[in-house]
Amino acid sequence: MNNKYYTIVSLLLLSGGVFASTVPETQNLRSLVDYALANNPEVNVARERHIGALARVPQAMALPEPKLTYRYFVNEVETRVGPQEHGIGLSQTLPWFGKRGLQGDAATEAARAAQERIASIQNTVIAEVANAYYELFYLGQSIEIIRGNRDLVLHLERVARARYGAGAATHADVIRAQVELGTIENRLGSLKDRRAPLFARLNALLNRPTTETFDLPSILTFEPVNYTDDELLAKVSLRNPDLRATSFEIEAAHRQRERANKNYLPDITLGLDYIATGDARMPGVQDSGDDALSATIGFTLPIWRSKYDAGVKEADAMLRQQQFKRDQQLNTFHAETVTALFKLRDAQRQIDLYEKTLLPKANESLVATQRAYSTGAAPFADTIDAQRMLLSFELSFARAITDHNQARIVLEKLTGQSLTNQSATNRPVQREESAHESH
């Protein structure tokens, strides 16, 4: 059996490279993340929402449309200089000073919130891709581990049959080895069947057919998270894109409230009217037929105060809603950070325990029991128990590696940044050679 190496990889949560447009046959996490960010429908929806939010800014700051009117006098109005026949008017309403600026500010803050929502959804997609990727890695490692243990039990079954044929062992030893083989084969089949739903989940994030599969690397690199709890909580408070988006929404609500208070002030309408005048009926009238030109100014009368009071009340409620939303988000994200930190450290403890103590001891125990059984100094049950213990430890070690990665992914999603250095150092963990491997 070949030596196995277990290491853990660092994920960069925020993509900085060119998005991939195709998925190669063998995948690493970076290429999957790039592909997902370029093709995931939810990310593209967020981008389109941001485009729409940006387009609302000039709309919010635009003046109302000017009004052009035409007037035809069915019964001409007689004046000293002649009858008024028809007229053209042009008017423009001007919102009171500051109204358009506040509308534009609110729309700008909303667009900034939409931009942060893109980052939030990207982080979520990256975390989900990474979670599925690491789960597939664990599944692949589990399959390889169980295959290795199947080979071991096959070797033990051959030894038991040989000893039984020589009269040095009982038939029960052979049966026990065959039962163990059946159990391992069943477990191996279950693990293989789990690949389909995991690939379906990953392909859904990549916007690919759910049945497509690809190879994953057999080695991941490991690097610890070197931040204190307080540092991570501070990063969550300052950098989490959901919190930042809500902060922009709070600013937008402030501007909307200020705008609601402006409704108590009138809008101004400026106008210019031109009236075409016919010739006076009496000859010799001075200025006969001169057309008329007049300028107008008008004001809206905001007298229905109950309507404006309700608008201010609504704006106040929207502002408080966003503030409460941010408080709840902050509490939730801090709690999730503490939980992820516990899982990260618990996984790190288990990695160290299995790497430095349990796996070497389990290998040593298996080698010793195999040798003892081959000489008749130990029962076959001890060899099977040692094999089961090694299998359990190897699977638990692979699970701890996966849990560590997945906990770090949660922290990187919450903080909105990578928490590891770019250059990860591999830490190979070798399994000692068991007795049947030397044959």
Is 72 a member of any domain?
no
Q: What is the pLDDT of residue 61?
A: 96
pLDDT at site 313: 98
pLDDT score, position 122: 96
pLDDT interval class at 434 (50, 70, 90): very low
Domain that holds residue 346: 29-65+98-265+305-438
Q: pLDDT tens, 148-162?
A: 889 988 888 888 888
Q: Is residue 319 assigned to a domain?
A: yes
Name the one residue in this structure whose structure tokens are 């007298």.
Answer: 303
Q: In terms of pLDDT, which residue wins out, 281 or 47?
A: 47
For residue 284, what pLDDT band results from cuts at 50, 70 and 90?
low
Does 79 have pLDDT greater than 90? no
pTM of the model: 0.80
Q: What pLDDT digit, counting tens, does each position of 376-418 carry?
A: 888 888 988 999 999 999 999 999 999 999 999 999 999 999 8
Q: What angle do CA 392, 397, 401 make, to 5 degrees?
A: 150
pLDDT band for position 167 (50/70/90)?
A: confident
CATH number of the domain where residue 48 is located: 1.20.1600.10
- Model pLDDT, residue 423: 37
Q: Between 170 and 222, whose confidence is greater?
A: 170
In the predicted model, is pLDDT for residue 75 greater than 90? no
Confidence class of residue 221 from pLDDT cuts 50, 70 and 90?
A: low
What's the structural domain count of the chain?
1
Most confident range, picked from 49-63, 164-178, 370-384: 49-63
Q: Is the pLDDT of residue 8 over 50?
A: no
Does residue 429 belong to any structural domain of this protein?
A: yes
What value does the mean pLDDT take over residues 359-371?
A: 93
Supply the mean pLDDT for the chain: 86
Contacting residues for 405 by C-beta, under 8 A, at least 6 apart:
8, 9, 11, 130, 134, 220
Query: Can you name the residues that pair with 292 across neighbouring β-strands?
Result: 275
Q: Which one is predicted more confidently, 287 or 299?
A: 299
- Please check the confidence at residue 439 and state whether its pLDDT lies above 70: no
- Closest by alpha carbon to 249, among 403, 406, 105? 105
pLDDT in tens, 230-280: 999 999 999 999 999 999 999 999 999 999 999 999 999 999 999 887 776
**Residues of the chain above pLDDT 90, percent:** 64
Is 103 within a domain?
yes
Please state which of the ranges 5-19, 103-117, 245-259 shows the lowest mean pLDDT.
Answer: 5-19
Whether residue 279 lies inside any domain: the answer is no
Residue 228 lies in a domain: yes
* Better pLDDT: 9 or 80: 80
pLDDT confidence band for 298 (50 / 70 / 90): very high
- The verdict on residue 102 lying in a domain is yes
Q: How far apart are the first and last CA of the chain?
A: 10
